A = this chain, B = another copy of it.
Amino acid sequence: MGEAAVGARPRSRGVHKHVQVREYVRELIGGAEPGTPAPSERELVQQFGVARMTVRQALDALVAEGLLERIPGRGTFVAHHRVDQVPRLQGFTEEMGRRGMTPTSRTLLARLEAAGPGVARALDINLGEPVVHWQRLRFADSAPMCVQDVYCASELVPGLLEALPESLYAELERRDLEPTWGEDSVDAGVAGEQEAKLLGVAVGHPVLRVARRTFSDKRPVEVSRSTYRADRFTMWVPLTRIPQPRA
């Protein structure tokens, strides 16, 4: 019964038990083959001396991430189609790394600008406030892949222009501005003269345009426009069926 309940730890003084269990299991199955059994729930209960609900909470998170899959009556296993069940918010560096390609970049432009109407609205700042505008030509395995324009409120990222990182997202994490969610708007277009020259294609070559906003908690931290060579880049989106509202 609840008589022995301990209650939640203060966030600042200790890590929650379900987080401990979750990170332990994440580490454990880090490089494991799909299909490898994870520890059973009752095993983890023994090891950590916690209740089963706590273990389930930990495993639920890993299942939601697509790292584990449960098979009733059999056990919990490293997920087979290890693909994400949810589209990950990743930067170019991370995404190309995950595709097994080597990302590199050439900075075309990096300066302070006054926020125009679109950028100001997207970043939720006032018109004309200073923003960092960083334009890069990005390569995968040395071949041009996309042209990317990134904008951040300059106030949020002091000194960024003086020491441009390779991965913006990694840098934002270091600054405690870790992006936690975002949204892409994807459409198609054809390369203009400038884009064509940079990407190494003919004018009129099809391109995939991705407009992104990312947020750290509720605050917008970055907006970007990326133009990909359609012949080199396909976007992959996992979908989940959710009961439709009564028509």
User: Smallest CB–CB gap between A45 and chain B, Å?
Assistant: 14
Give residues in A with beta carbon < 8 Å to B.
1, 26, 30, 53, 64-65, 83-90, 94, 97, 178-190, 204, 206-209, 212, 214, 228, 230, 233-245, 247
Residue from the list B53, B87, B207 in contact with A87, Cβ < 8 A: B87
Are B235 and A185 closer than 8 Å at their CB atoms? yes
Q: CA A167 – CA B84 in complex, angstroms? A: 27
Q: CA A65 – CA B240 in complex, angstroms? A: 10
Given contacts A187-B233, A188-B188, contact A239 B178 (CB under 8 A): no
User: Smallest CB–CB gap between A99 and chain B, Å?
Assistant: 13
Given contacts A187-B230, A206-B189, A208-B186, contact A241 B180 (CB under 8 A): yes
Residue from the list B207, B212, B236 in contact with A183, Cβ < 8 A: B236
Given contacts A89-B241, A181-B85, A242-B88, contact A235 B186 (CB under 8 A): yes
Chain B hits for A85, CB < 8 A: 86, 181
Chain B hits for A26, CB < 8 A: 243
Chain B hits for A243, CB < 8 A: 26
Are A86 and B86 closer than 8 Å at their CB atoms? yes
User: Smallest CB–CB gap between A125 and chain B, Å?
Assistant: 19
Are B238 and A187 closer than 8 Å at their CB atoms? no
- 12 CB-based A-B contacts, threshold 8 Å: A85-B181, A86-B242, A88-B239, A88-B240, A89-B240, A97-B247, A182-B239, A183-B236, A183-B239, A187-B230, A214-B239, A237-B237
